[in-house]
A and B are shown apart, each in its own frame.
Chain A
Amino acid sequence: MIAFVIRRLIQSVLVMIVVAFVAFSLFTYVGDPISIMLGQDYTEADRARIAAELGLDRPFFVQFARFVANAVQGEFGLSYRLARPVDELIAERLPATLELSLVAAIFALVVGVPMGVYTGLNRDSWLSRVFMTVSLIGVSLPTFLIGILLIFVFAVHLGWLPSFGRGEVVHIGWWSTGLLTVSGLKALILPAITLGLFQMTLIMRLVRSEMLEVLRTDYIKFARARGLTNRAIHFGHALKNTLVPVITITGLQLGSIIAFSIITETVFQWPGMGLLFIQSVNFADIPVMAAYLCLIAFFFVVINLIVDLLYYVVDPRLRADRGVAGGHTG
């Protein structure tokens, strides 16, 4: 188990280094920070001086090492566009994105899993068919279209919910939350649904097909032969066996939710990292883009790690196999 965690940690670090390299390459090959800093008119001497100051005259790997060392401390330099430290900008935008993503993921799970269980157990009921049809729409419509439709119906037409922004936020330390005010919560609803809908339908279909699969297994047949109640069979035995794939997909989807919040944030003018990123792309604001890239990769890596650890909690076979293997080798 410990050996496994260490192995996974090393893998994660490797992934992060690769991502950092890509981000660093952005600096080196896409942007030219010196000309950005000096403007149009500068002499070769100016250029050499700045390069020396920034360490750009050093060998490539020294520069990269410095980039990594800074990145680990959250240092990504100044935004070209806003001339403010990138870590500050990110810290301002991070809570909005994380709250939106988390609420979207919870929405996807809380609605998707029960719908999946229901449609798996009642394959032929009319309600299942309704769910399946609706989910097909959810999977096939692009996010921005769903967002615009929701805005049209609930914001423009019915006027129940705001169409953009975060509403009122409360600051707790450096964290700003919209979860504590009515307007903040109202502002969350449409973007969260927009962002989570695809994942919800995905989870629903996944749970459904896993349930169907598990319900055909011998141990479910045997559980019935033992006279267990339907409740024990469906929720104790069947649902638990669908958890491993559901955890995998949900975990990976949480990463995509955070990454894909770019679109939702743009549609709803949600002041999160996604919006910041889009604005940075327009200005070729490399430091912000590099930081965003590293941060998203970091989230993916952390989530993957958690997912892998959850397997161990759910599935005893992994625990034992690894335990035995680890025990013999180390």
Chain B
Amino acid sequence: MARPPANHPLLEVRDLRVEFPTRRGTLVAVDGVSFHIDPGEVLGVVGESGAGKSLTGAAIIGLLEPPGRIAGGEIRFDGRRIDNLPYEQMRRLRGKEIGAVFQDPLTSLNPLYTIGRQLTETILTHLDVTPAEARERAIRLLQDVGIPGAERRIDHYPHQFSGGMRQRVVIALALCANPRLVIADEPTTALDVSIQAQIITLLKRLCREHGTAVMLVTHDMGVIAETADRVAVMYAGRIAEIGPVRDVIKTPKHPYTIGLMGSIPKIDRREARLAQIDGAMPRLNAIPPGCAFHPRCPKAFDRCRVERPDPIHVDRSHVACWLYDRDDVRVGAVVDE
């Protein structure tokens, strides 16, 4: 896929707002989120449960479940606006240009069809090939994702595969039409710890080979450190900090990120995930005014309780925190900690 170098990113999300209208008012689950992903780039997305990571991904592929809806902002793919596309046009994009891998491989595959049938139907939907060619392509894909005996296994049903193998099949499905972006929403969370690394390595290798960009949602900072080019840290529906992976991990700037990094778990201990920060993320109907993090923030000051910070350019990152709004002594204090 040789395209002329574009002067725009592959994916550009600007000011995205996702709402759920409910009887007792509107819940804003994603609020003013902006980021971009360049071709071939891996953007890690981290944050506590409920931060809005999955919803952001769902909004990008146009699969927000009603009543959830995009209430503001825009999403551009390859320069073209896709957040307001008619269903049928968006459908053609899904699977072909933007693939998706979800959390649970055990339930992502239709139990009543062979994996071969699910692969070929996807290939035939998006590519102009004959059924025989589609099947050949499916077998190659299965070999690519490391399924032994692919020629035989293609006619097996999902329940005949282990969890890890199924997730490989899911990855093959997401990549079968050679998309330019894959949204991987916690692709290994449901898997055995021993298999998680293999799957991530596989995803990383395949995407590098095909030049596929990835939005990788995960709770695992170890995976982020190894895989991502840049990281976005989300908190209560907003991006707290986004920047190159080394910077965010080595020199986190947002107090929330600092808290996260201070609590990085041993990678092999599964239950010790992110967010060992005191307190809990606010519920959507009780997001505090000003900086949503201020009730938990050790550095909070008056302004934080009133005004909401927008991301500010700090070094090579963007940080939504008032500490960085001016040349303040506090900055040094925070970073030194």
User: Within the assembled complex, what's the spacing in Å between the Cα atoms of A302 and B99?
Assistant: 47
Among B28-36, B104-112, B143-151, B283-291, the stretch in contact with A: B104-112
User: Within the assembled complex, what's the spacing in Å between the Cα atoms of A218 and B108?
Assistant: 5
A227 within 8 Å of B (CB atoms):
yes
A10 within 8 Å of B (CB atoms):
no
Contact A227 B122 (CB under 8 A): yes
Residue of B nearest to A244 (CB): B112
Q: Do A320 and B61 contact each other (CB < 8 Å), given the known contacts A218-B102, A227-B125, A241-B112?
A: no
Interface size on A, residues (CB 8 A): 23
Which of B108, B112, B173, B177 is close to A316, meaning CB atoms less than 8 Å apart?
Answer: B112
Question: Could you mark each residue 94-136 of chain B with 1 if its beta carbon is under 8 Å from any beta carbon of chain A, else 0?
Answer: 1110011010100111111110000001100110000000000
A224 within 8 Å of B (CB atoms):
yes
Contact A218 B104 (CB under 8 A): yes
User: Within the assembled complex, what's the spacing in Å between the Cα atoms of A240 and B114?
Assistant: 13
Which of B96, B102, B160, B177 is close to A222, meaning CB atoms less than 8 Å apart?
Answer: B102
A228 within 8 Å of B (CB atoms):
yes
The residues in B between 152 and 175 inclusive whose CB is less than 8 angstroms from any CB of A are 157, 159-160, 170, 173-174
Contact B95 A317 (CB under 8 A): no
Contact A223 B91 (CB under 8 A): no
Contact A229 B91 (CB under 8 A): yes
Which of B157, B170, B173 is close to A317, meaning CB atoms less than 8 Å apart?
Answer: B157
Main secondary structure of the interface of B (DSSP, over half): mixed
Residues on B with C-beta less than 8 A from A241 are 110-112
A30 within 8 Å of B (CB atoms):
no
Contact A237 B159 (CB under 8 A): no
Residues on A with C-beta less than 8 A from B210 are none
Q: Do A227 and B157 contact each other (CB < 8 Å), given the known contacts A221-B63, A232-B121, A241-B112?
A: no
User: Within the assembled complex, what's the spacing in Å between the Cα atoms of A109 and B329?
Assistant: 76
A140 within 8 Å of B (CB atoms):
no
> What distance in Å separates the Cβ of B126 from its nearest Cβ neighbour in chain A?
6
Residues on B with C-beta less than 8 A from A2 are none
User: Within the assembled complex, what's the spacing in Å between the Cα atoms of A317 and B102?
Assistant: 22
B246 within 8 Å of A (CB atoms):
no
Which of B96, B104, B110, B174 is close to A237, meaning CB atoms less than 8 Å apart?
Answer: B110
B92 within 8 Å of A (CB atoms):
yes
Q: Do A219 and B63 contact each other (CB < 8 Å), given the known contacts A226-B94, A320-B157?
A: no
A315 within 8 Å of B (CB atoms):
yes
Contact A225 B100 (CB under 8 A): yes
B297 within 8 Å of A (CB atoms):
no
A314 within 8 Å of B (CB atoms):
yes
Q: Do A226 and B125 contact each other (CB < 8 Å), given the known contacts A316-B159, A317-B159, A320-B157?
A: yes
B200 within 8 Å of A (CB atoms):
no
B264 within 8 Å of A (CB atoms):
no
Residue of A nearest to B104 (CB): A218
User: Within the assembled complex, what's the spacing in Å between the Cα atoms of A225 and B173?
Assistant: 10
Contact A219 B93 (CB under 8 A): no
Contact B94 A227 (CB under 8 A): yes
The residues in B between 52 and 94 inclusive whose CB is less than 8 angstroms from any CB of A are 61, 63, 91-94
Contact B160 A227 (CB under 8 A): no
Contact B111 A219 (CB under 8 A): yes
Which of A224, A236, A314, A316 is close to B63, meaning CB atoms less than 8 Å apart?
Answer: A224
Residue of B nearest to A319 (CB): B157
Q: Do A315 and B125 contact each other (CB < 8 Å), given the known contacts A227-B95, A320-B159?
A: no
Residues on B with C-beta less than 8 A from A240 are 112
Q: Do A225 and B63 contact each other (CB < 8 Å), given the known contacts A218-B107, A237-B110, A317-B111?
A: yes
User: Within the assembled complex, what's the spacing in Å between the Cα atoms of A229 and B122?
Assistant: 10
Residue of A nearest to B126 (CB): A227
Contact B125 A314 (CB under 8 A): no
Contact B107 A219 (CB under 8 A): yes
Residues on B with C-beta less than 8 A from A316 are 111-112, 114, 157, 159
User: Within the assembled complex, what's the spacing in Å between the Cα atoms of A224 and B92?
Assistant: 10
Contact B99 A225 (CB under 8 A): yes
Contact A219 B110 (CB under 8 A): yes
User: Within the assembled complex, what's the spacing in Å between the Cα atoms of A236 and B125?
Assistant: 13
Question: Could you mark each residue 98-140 of chain A with 1 if its beta carbon is under 8 Å from any beta carbon of chain B, else 0?
Answer: 0000000000000000000000000000000000000000000
Residue of B nearest to A240 (CB): B112
Q: Do A219 and B109 contact each other (CB < 8 Å), given the known contacts A227-B125, A228-B121?
A: yes
Contact B107 A228 (CB under 8 A): no
Residues on A with C-beta less than 8 A from B93 are 227
> What distance in Å separates the Cβ of A94 from its nearest Cβ neighbour in chain B?
37
A217 within 8 Å of B (CB atoms):
yes
User: Within the assembled complex, what's the spacing in Å between the Cα atoms of A34 and B121?
Assistant: 72
Which of A218, A224, A230, A320 is close to B160, meaning CB atoms less than 8 Å apart?
Answer: A320
Give the 8 A-B residue pairs with the shortest CB-CB distance, closest first.
Answer: A227-B95, A227-B94, A225-B100, A218-B107, A226-B95, A222-B108, A316-B157, A219-B110
Given A229-B91, A317-B111; 9 other pairs, CB 8 A cutoff: A221-B108, A222-B109, A225-B94, A225-B95, A226-B125, A227-B93, A228-B95, A236-B121, A241-B110
23 CB < 8 A contacts A-B: A218-B102, A219-B108, A222-B109, A223-B110, A225-B100, A225-B102, A226-B95, A226-B122, A227-B93, A227-B122, A227-B126, A227-B177, A230-B91, A232-B125, A236-B121, A237-B113, A240-B112, A241-B110, A241-B112, A316-B114, A316-B157, A317-B159, A320-B160
Chain B residues near A (Cβ < 8 Å) = 61, 63, 91-96, 99-100, 102, 104, 107-114, 121-122, 125-126, 157, 159-160, 170, 173-174, 177
